[in-house]
Amino acid sequence: MPTVEDRLARLEALEEIRMLKHRYFRACDAKDPEAMRACFIAKGADIYYGPALGSFDDADGLVDIYSRIALQRVDDRYVILDMHHGMHPSISITGPGTATGAWTLRFRQVDLNAGTERVTALDYDDDYVIEDGRWKISRCHVKVLWSIERSLTDDVKVVQ
C-alpha cells in the first residue's frame, strides 16, 4: 500500500507534467522559442510532428523550424497566428523520474501570407523524464486526426 507521502509525490509529479505541457503550448502561442525549447531535455529528444514538419532527434531542430515559420513578420506584424488548446491529459508515472502522457490538441492557425485558416485535431504521445530536478519532454510524437483548411474571405479582419 503506497504511503501518503508516495501518493502526494505522485500527485505533485502529475501536476508538474501537466504544467510542463501547458508551458509548451503557451510558449508556442506566445512565439517564445526559448521557453518552448526549455520544455524538452537538453539533448536527444525524439520528436515526430507528422508529414508537415517531420522528425527531429533533438529539440533544437524543432525550435529552428518553428522559429522560421511562426516568427515571420511583414510590416511589423506576425503573419502566422497559432492557437494551441491542449486537453484530456492521460499521464502515467512509469518509474522513478519517468512518465508517459497522451494529450488531445485542438490547433487553429491563421496564415496571413496564404490567406488561410486551418483547424486541426491532433493527438500527442509523450514521454517525460526528470532532468536537472525538473520534468522535461524526452519524446513527443504527434498524430494528425483531421484537418480543415479554408480561405479567408475579403471581409475577414485580423487584429493583433
Whether the predicted pLDDT of 132 surpasses 90: yes
Q: Residue 89's closest CA among 26, 28, 19, 145?
A: 19
Domain layout of the chain by residue ranges? 4-151
Predicted confidence band of residue 121 (pLDDT cuts 50, 70, 90): very high
| Cα-only R_g, the chain | 17
CATH architecture of residue range(s) 4-151: Roll (3.10)
**First-to-final CA distance of the chain:** 54
CB crowding 110-125: b at 16 or more within 10 Å, else e: bbbeeeebeebebebe
Give the rounded percent of residues in the chain with a pLDDT score beyond 90: 92
| pTM of the entire predicted model | 0.94
Whether the predicted pLDDT of 18 surpasses 90: yes
Supply the mean pLDDT for the chain. Answer: 96
Q: pLDDT, tens digit, for every residue of 31-42?
A: 999 999 999 999
C-alpha cell read off for 4: 501518503
Average of per-residue pLDDT across 102-125: 97
Whether the predicted pLDDT of 92 surpasses 90: yes
Residue 137 to residue 59: CA distance in whole angstroms:
9
DSSP-assigned states of every residue in the chain: ---HHHHHHHHHHHHHHHHHHHHHHHHHHTT-HHHHHTTB-SS--EEE-HHHH-EESSHHHHHHHHHHHHT-EETTEESEEEEEEEEEEEEEEEETTEEEEEEEEEEEEEETTTTEEEEEEEEEEEEEEEETTEEEEEEEEEEEEEEEEEEPPTT-----
Whether the predicted pLDDT of 52 surpasses 90: no
